[in-house]
Amino acid sequence: MMPAKFLGIFIFYFLFLFGNSVIYSNDINISTNTKYNITKFIIQKYPEFNNIISEDTQYRRISENIYIALFHGKIGEHPGYGVFILNISSNTVVKKIDIFPSFDQYDNYTQIEKAGIDFAIITQYSDYGAVLSRVKYFFDLVPENPVKKYLAERVNITNIEIKGDKIFAWGSAGQNKIMIKLTIRNGLPETETSMITPMIENEVESKINISENEKIYSPSFIKEDEENLMLGYSGKCDVINTSSESDSIVKEKRKQSEYKTVWLPNSYHGIFKRDELSKHIINISSSPIHNFFISNNQQLYPSGLPYGIYEIEDKKCRFYPIPEVTIDMIKKFRNGNDYCLIDNQMGAFQRFNDEIWFCSDFYDAEGVCGLGGIGYFNLKTKKYQIIRSTQIAEYGCSALLMEGKEVFIGLSHRGEGEISSGGLAIFDIKSNKFYRWDIPSVINIIKKIGDSLIMGTKDGIYILTSERKILYIGPEINENGEYELIMRQTEKD
């Protein structure tokens, strides 16, 4: 007889593999004649939608011979779009989903973001990549049955905490703050016992099922005059050479703008979250004060502060800038870029024993480029170690988790418009190799639950299971226009 534990795991995987709508990949293997006939039919039946640009039409297969199509044309003189369900085998339009104008008077980029046999998400972007509109449709294949349409803003998960067998995740959907509670069963979150609740003021208030000892409070806030006490220093800091090049070469390169000191500000502008500021400070000793302060691209402090690590000890300050990136290094790992203005930032970081692990980040557009990688700063030797690979060289990073034998990195690309995802990379320290998985949304935070990973992204929660399968939990808008959690395996893993 199958043990209860393994029976539960079997049922769980059976349900998510076969109990959810399958999302098919984009498939445009449709004949030119078929496209012409369908376009002609739409223009004749829906005269308000005209000037269709057939070359811009997007097709997504949602079942055998059934496609959802997004047509680009005009509604009167205004740019617009039409969404239809097509039967390719019979060259017919099964159903009109919607005809709608472009978000503004200027045309923009619109795409089928996701689609299944009974739903589709259509997203409009500005010319610089910002999301203008994101709508989710629910439908069946019966022509006369109505279509449901809801605004479907992405749920941006910015923080995750694990307490015993409970997972608390919080973030926002547009202007609305939310928190999600999940129960861990057999090493994975269980969506049937989940809960989504609004955040009120600085506290996560529950309508149901959160006991006093489970309450999670939003970060407290502190004023400017309290912040300096955490650092224990403000003023000039000596710059320590961390370049792999000789001192003479570094000095020559900086001849026009050489600096021997940098400033650690004695005040901060505005009011910042205590936990956000304090996580940049590593306290070695309180008496006498010995702190390390990590200056990365999370701008909680005035812009212009150089990237690297400050050491504050005995009323003195030393600054260790992150090692330089050169054009030769970029040409070696990225196969190109004979010239660009180099951007070299310190991204996400984490302390692990006597090391501060971090990943590189950079802007990558408009003549600016950089070089992806991971590395660590040893708090005892005060030395950097950088690890480069062609597998991650073209990406910056948005999240990092160091777990002793492996480093997990959320890859991202920062160019014009929205930041895009480069997926998840795993660096195996023993084999010195990188492995990558496709996560379609930018990763904000990575946590470990048993042998699995849970990732908060700009579009909900993803799981990398111990079997290295990618699951998507949501939240997503349901047919009632409410956010709910699901469990679905993604297209790629």
Looking at the structure, tell me whether residues 454 and 329 fall in a common domain.
Answer: yes
| β-sheet bridge partners, residue 170 | 159, 179
- The Cα-based distances of 251 to 91, 134, 207, 309, 398 in angstroms read 71, 52, 62, 20, 32
Looking at the structure, tell me whether residues 127 and 144 fall in a common domain.
Answer: yes
In a domain? residue 473? no
Looking at the structure, tell me whether residues 300 and 263 fall in a common domain.
Answer: yes
Its pTM stands at 0.80
In a domain? residue 200? no
Looking at the structure, tell me whether residues 346 and 415 fall in a common domain.
Answer: yes
Q: Which of 404, 402, 312 is nearest to 349 (CA)?
A: 402
Phi first, then psi, for residue 274 (nearest 5°) are: -60, -45
In a domain? residue 159? no
In a domain? residue 208? no
Looking at the structure, tell me whether residues 317 and 364 fall in a common domain.
Answer: no
pLDDT, tens only, 209-260: 445 444 544 444 334 444 444 667 778 889 998 765 444 444 444 443 445 6
Looking at the structure, tell me whether residues 440 and 356 fall in a common domain.
Answer: yes
- Which residues, other chains included, contact 358 with Cβ-Cβ below 8 Å and sequence gap of 6+? 294, 296, 322, 346, 347, 348, 349, 350, 374, 375, 376, 377, 400
- Which residues, other chains included, contact 475 with Cβ-Cβ below 8 Å and sequence gap of 6+? 155, 173, 178, 180, 196, 460, 461, 483, 484, 485, 486
Please spell the DSSP secondary structure of 66-120, one letter per residue. Answer: EEEEEEEEEETTEEEEEEEEEETTTTEEEEEEEEEE-SSSS--EEEEEEEETTEE
E strands, 314-442, are 316-321, 341-342, 345-352, 355-361, 368-369, 374-378, 384-387, 396-402, 406-413, 420-428, 433-437
Looking at the structure, tell me whether residues 345 and 429 fall in a common domain.
Answer: yes
Looking at the structure, tell me whether residues 373 and 351 fall in a common domain.
Answer: yes
In a domain? residue 181? no
Could you tell me the residue range of the domain that residue 347 belongs to? 325-458
In a domain? residue 264? yes
Looking at the structure, tell me whether residues 287 and 349 fall in a common domain.
Answer: no
CA dist., res. 397 & res. 370, Å (int) = 12
Looking at the structure, tell me whether residues 339 and 283 fall in a common domain.
Answer: no
Return per-residue pLDDT of the chain as tens, 493 residues. Answer: 444 433 343 333 333 333 333 333 344 456 677 777 888 888 888 989 988 887 788 999 999 889 999 999 999 888 899 999 999 888 889 999 999 998 877 667 899 998 999 999 999 988 777 888 899 999 999 999 999 999 999 999 999 999 888 899 988 888 888 888 888 888 888 877 666 766 544 444 433 344 544 454 444 433 444 444 466 777 888 999 876 544 444 444 444 344 567 777 655 544 445 556 677 888 898 888 898 989 888 655 555 678 999 999 888 899 999 999 999 999 999 987 678 899 999 999 999 999 999 999 999 998 999 999 999 999 999 999 999 999 999 999 999 999 989 999 999 999 887 889 999 999 999 999 999 999 999 999 999 998 999 999 999 999 999 998 999 998 999 999 988 888 888 754 3
- Which residue among 271, 292, 321 closes a domain? 321
pLDDT, tens only, 411-440: 999 988 788 999 999 999 999 999 999 999
In a domain? residue 156? no
The CATH number given to whatever domain includes residue 389 is 2.130.10.10
Cβ atoms of 46 and 34 within 8 Å: the answer is: no
**H-state helical runs in 149-302:** 224-231, 247-253, 274-278
CA dist., res. 386 & res. 375, Å (int) = 4
Expressed in percent and rounded to 5, the helix, strand and coil fractions of the chain are 15, 45, 40
In a domain? residue 206? no
Total domains present in the chain: 3
Q: Which of 100, 58, 98 is nearest to 79 (CA)?
A: 100
Residue 460 parent element (H or E): strand 460-464
Torsion angle, alpha carbons of 325, 330, 333, 336, to 10? 180
- Which residue among 121, 150, 179 closes a domain? 150
- Which residue among 150, 170, 196 closes a domain? 150
CA dist., res. 448 & res. 464, Å (int) = 10
Looking at the structure, tell me whether residues 293 and 346 fall in a common domain.
Answer: no
Looking at the structure, tell me whether residues 330 and 451 fall in a common domain.
Answer: yes
